[in-house]
Chains A and B, each alone.
Chain A
């Protein structure tokens, strides 16, 4: 009996230990193996970084030709000093992994459509969408092109080796806490995974179109009403690169085919990127600055996440030294400055995603019409490992144009089975090589040469040099389209509908030292109608760009502080113009006392967003409900038609003749609905007591795994989606950077988070509080590790 009891106790002990080492799911929520997770010797407690922790003085990094020194400044920014490029990027890989391993690994997994391996079947639809739109396809092609490049091939290998040597030092207990929570291990890094992160950015910044909505809208509304609601280029637009002198090249021609009616019944792609991913950048000529040196500013608007997408760092060899912002997985920096020049990016929206209607030979959908023949589809077989489930196999039809994303096995709508996707993201891109050259740029000619390799995602590259030159270039590999090509669904059978050629690099829109004394960009139309190639995108920016230009047009001696203040400007032109259109439509005699109070509040407002006040919130509630009500007739249609932009909505409301046209066509009464939405907004305010912008906006930085415990919400930010300080919800300036092009250049930066990706580190979010004020950190642009040591910065020496 006692023996049995003892045996039972032993069994209990063993099972308890086994249980505590097992990952569980409670009501769908994963629970880490609690014994492992709670053990202070190997669980999450090991990630509680001592506040007073010191950096190791020495680490081993095999494969180095010579020692590399890393100085850590007071913001936690690493400064790498190497003797050659290979050592530099090997150390960069190691340091980025030290700071951000989980993020690095997770983004590459997301890009490759491999999240279900970690979280199970809930992510399978997402993963399939990623691979079906050709994420892996594009990344594989870029990786092959980069591997074949004599400069980038070896350097990306060195970077990967640096990451892998760091991973090799990690036992379970040393893993980032996210691995312990989700219970999996980091995967080996490869140059393909670096290409996947490049692909992730291409998707983030060009993975959007509205071809299907526009195709339906044109067919249903008719050409004139469609063009009124969805104009290519509404009045009042100022492009990134205006034509201020004749274009000095002969454009290559492309012949338009006869008109084509693709029919209707398509369903919209449900996995598009956020079209508001964008940015601001500008440079002011030295003739207009107080110091006489050019000034350059850049802030990039992306999802606001922990860890931040950007890592500020300095990289130096005897041949060059550059400070700037890198993303995990990339060699070098993307935005930054060296001893000679500064450079930065904003997204340059362009239509580089087109859908083609496929005519199948029969129901098996194994061949499709092209010209007068039937072409067989290729099948790309994708296998998905699914946590807690058996692997899932998917077969994707690939046409000569690209993959058929939706078919009878994927997506809600069988009708979509007829569309093949052609996306610039399917093509190989040597973007990494452009960054390599840009990090070493010496002058304007070098900038143009570096950008020759910058193919995707298309960006407005701002430039300023210590020699005094400023420039803007709309850079990417752009298909040379006939007017209208790809705005609507195209015909896969007609060779003239395919992209026939690309605009030569030399013909990309560019502006150098313009008379106005500044260059700027903010995701607006890239060019005007005098540019010899057809330009189109379905989502462009209409407000920030004009705020920047209006400010920079002021004649005054511009300073670094002015640039910083401008990056934080909360002036919202959309609110100003929206109110100018909406307020006169109200019947003020009919307003209640509460409504009259709101009316006075909005009328006397200076349109500068203040998070503690109500005006921006009241305007947005009113305007959004007006917009929804006005375009309700479009939404009631069974086919998706899209919604006119805010800019065009305001233009129509402000102009009585346009308004009447729309009222008659859609059967709405604009005045009546503006009045009723205003009353509803006033009622909502009354019910809630008050509605501050801070409460409505809920500015927040979310952990990538969407864990609220690792996120920060309800931040006090004086910005909005259409102010230069383009912050709304979980989206906004993901870094800010200002450079004065003195010799050597001086720079300042902000980051919404911290350098460390570890939620247990004091450097996880230590820079965030400054990000929503106008306090900037000065950049230490160091010459040597000795100089860093003299300033008291900790030094880690990587020894071969």
Chain B
């Protein structure tokens, strides 16, 4: 439950920070969530993976759908993949950054408390 909550808060915070800040705000949001909610151990990683991965995945997917896959298909050609491939790569990178971020936040909390 706490993991799911952390994931949701992570997604929401990352989205809001992302409106103004560059891509690294995804890690910043995850760090904060890890530190404040403190899901603990592997749950921290999963929370970040889910929250940030879904956030980037859903944002990319909706941009791609609204665009009828025009751009992602072209960019996909550059990276030898499809439009869906680009959505998945984006989600995976988001998930990785989020998971690592929450995990580090969680560890830092452990270290200071």
Interface residues of A, Cβ cutoff 8 Å to B: 2-3, 5-6, 9-10, 12-13, 16-17, 20-21, 34-36, 38-52, 172, 177, 181, 707-710, 759-762, 764
Asked whether B77 lies within 8 Å of A41 as measured between CB atoms, the reply is: no
Q: Once the chains are docked, how many angstroms separate the CA of A762 from the CA of B93?
A: 28
Which label, helix, strand, loop or mixed, suits the secondary structure of the B interface?
Answer: helix
In the complex, how many angstroms separate the beta carbon of B18 from the nearest chain A beta carbon?
A: 4
Q: List 16 A-B contacts (CB under 8 A).
A: A9-B103, A20-B24, A21-B22, A35-B24, A39-B18, A39-B56, A43-B23, A45-B59, A48-B67, A49-B70, A50-B66, A50-B67, A51-B67, A759-B74, A760-B67, A761-B70
Give the number of residue pairs across the A-B interface with Cβ within 8 Å.
120
B-chain residues with CB within 8 Å of residue A42 when the two chains form the complex: 18, 22-23
Which residue from chain B places its CB closest to the CB of A46 in the assembled complex? B63
Which residue from chain A places its CB closest to the CB of B19 in the assembled complex? A41
Asked whether A16 lies within 8 Å of B100 as measured between CB atoms, the reply is: yes
Q: Which of B59, B74, B77, B93 has the largest number of chain A CB atoms within 10 A?
A: B74
A-chain residues with CB within 8 Å of residue B75 when the two chains form the complex: 44, 177, 709
Which residue from chain A places its CB closest to the CB of B25 in the assembled complex? A41
B-chain residues with CB within 8 Å of residue A17 when the two chains form the complex: 23-24, 27, 97
| Binary A-proximity of B65-82 (CB < 8 A = 1, otherwise 0) | 011101110111110000
A-chain residues with CB within 8 Å of residue B74 when the two chains form the complex: 709-710, 759-760
- The 8 Å CB contact of A759, one of B71, B89, B103, B104, is B71
Asked whether A16 lies within 8 Å of B66 as measured between CB atoms, the reply is: no
Which residue from chain A places its CB closest to the CB of B80 in the assembled complex? A709
Q: Which of A3, A21, A45, A172 has the largest number of chain B CB atoms within 10 A?
A: A45
In the complex, how many angstroms separate the beta carbon of B97 from the nearest chain A beta carbon?
A: 7
Asked whether A21 lies within 8 Å of B100 as measured between CB atoms, the reply is: no
Apart from A13-B101, A21-B23, A40-B63, 6 more pairs, CB < 8 Å: A6-B107, A21-B22, A36-B22, A40-B59, A44-B71, A181-B78
Q: Which residues 1-40 of B have a CB within 8 angstroms of A?
A: 15, 18-19, 22-24, 26-27, 31
- Is B47's CB within 8 Å of the partner chain A? no
Given A6-B111, A38-B90, A45-B64, is A760 in contact with B70 using a C-beta cutoff of 8 Å? yes
Q: Once the chains are docked, how many angstroms separate the CA of A177 from the CA of B70?
A: 13
Q: Once the chains are docked, how many angstroms separate the CA of A136 from the CA of B22?
A: 37
In the complex, how many angstroms separate the beta carbon of A414 from the nearest chain B beta carbon?
A: 42
In the complex, how many angstroms separate the beta carbon of A23 from the nearest chain B beta carbon?
A: 14
Q: Once the chains are docked, how many angstroms separate the CA of A300 from the CA of B100?
A: 56
Q: Once the chains are docked, how many angstroms separate the CA of A10 from the CA of B107?
A: 9
Q: Once the chains are docked, how many angstroms separate the CA of A21 from the CA of B108?
A: 24
Given A9-B107, A707-B78, is A35 in contact with B93 using a C-beta cutoff of 8 Å? yes
Asked whether A48 lies within 8 Å of B66 as measured between CB atoms, the reply is: yes
B-chain residues with CB within 8 Å of residue A39 when the two chains form the complex: 18, 22-23, 26, 56, 90
Which residue from chain B places its CB closest to the CB of A20 in the assembled complex? B23
- The 8 Å CB contact of B100, one of A5, A12, A36, A47, is A12
